[in-house]
Amino acid sequence: MSLLLNIDTASEKAHVSIAREGLILQTLWSDSQKEHASFLQTAILELTQTTGIKLSEIDAVAVTAGPGSYTGLRVGMASAKGLCYALKKPLVTISTLEVLAGSAIDLFPALSNAALLCPMIDARRMEIFTAVYDTHLKKCIEPCAMLLDEHSFEKELRVNKIFFFGSGSDKWRSVCRHPNAIFESVSILPETMSRLSNNRYFQKQFTELAYSEPLYLKEHQTVIKK
């Protein structure tokens, strides 16, 4: 049996959930990105009260590690690490882009028609955070910060259909005219995060608290142009 607390404050919408065996018991949402910090602790307390589950009963805490909102990532990671330290529980970190790609698969089961998945998180102007996955969530292009232009993904689109989605995909839609590009609206599903975090928990894919940091990309990786 597993009982996990899942935290996502990386993007416009934040959520916190408690899941047993990867199945959500309850989820709370925040639609205001500026209020993620004040929402998080109150939501965790409300979850414990409404489910009757004590934080000491949680087996692990999972958090989206980025990329995403700088402040949101700091809030989520700090809270997750603090809980793990206080409760002596393991920490599970998951790429925001991977959760977004997994959500696309769960929303659109017929994605086998698209060879590759490309989640896009809005950064600024024509810049995005992105990666490319296959339909088994194996990385084909590592997470990166990218400045979009008409030549972006030129090589990949030449030989693959690619499914583009996420808050940054509208920027790409405005310049991309390739017939192999497919666009849909996708946001992170709590159900997807709970399933992925549960898999990592049973595989003991934990992150050392002392070395766990948000994946900002723009601070630690030079912006690339494809």
What pLDDT does residue 43 have? 97
What CATH topology corresponds to 97-183?
A: Nucleotidyltransferase; domain 5 (3.30.420)
Considering only CA atoms, give the Rg of the chain.
Answer: 17
Q: What is the DSSP string of the chain?
A: --EEEEEE-SSSSEEEEEEETTEEEEEEEE--GGGHHHHHHHHHHHHHHHH---GGG-SEEEEEEESS-HHHHHHHHHHHHHHHHHHT--EEEEEHHHHHHHHHHHH-GGGGGSSEEEEEEEEETTEEEEEEE-TT--EEEEEEEEE--TTTTHHHHHH--EEEESTTHHHHHTT---TTEEE------HHHHHHHHHHHHHTT--B-GGG-----STTTS--B--
Tokens representing 176 are 């991309």
What pLDDT does residue 219 have? 57
Question: Do 3-95+188-211 and 97-183 agree at the fold level?
Answer: yes
Tokens representing 210 are 């002392």
Which of 124 and 140 is assigned the larger pLDDT?
140
Residue range 38-61, pLDDT digits in tens? 999 999 999 999 999 999 999 999
CATH (one of 3.40.50.300, 3.30.70.20, 3.30.420.40, 3.40.50.150) for 3-95+188-211: 3.30.420.40
Residue range 128-175, pLDDT digits in tens? 999 999 999 999 999 999 999 999 999 999 999 999 999 999 999 999
CB 159 within 8 A of CB 179: no
What pLDDT does residue 221 have? 39
Q: Cα 185 from chain centroid?
A: 15
What pLDDT does residue 226 have? 40
Nearest to 152 by CA among 164, 135, 134, 136: 164
Tokens representing 110 are 């017929």
pLDDT at 36 over 90: no
Give domain limits for the chain: 3-95+188-211, 97-183
Q: Is 21 left (phi over 0), alpha (psi -120 to 50) or beta?
A: left
pLDDT at 222 over 70: no
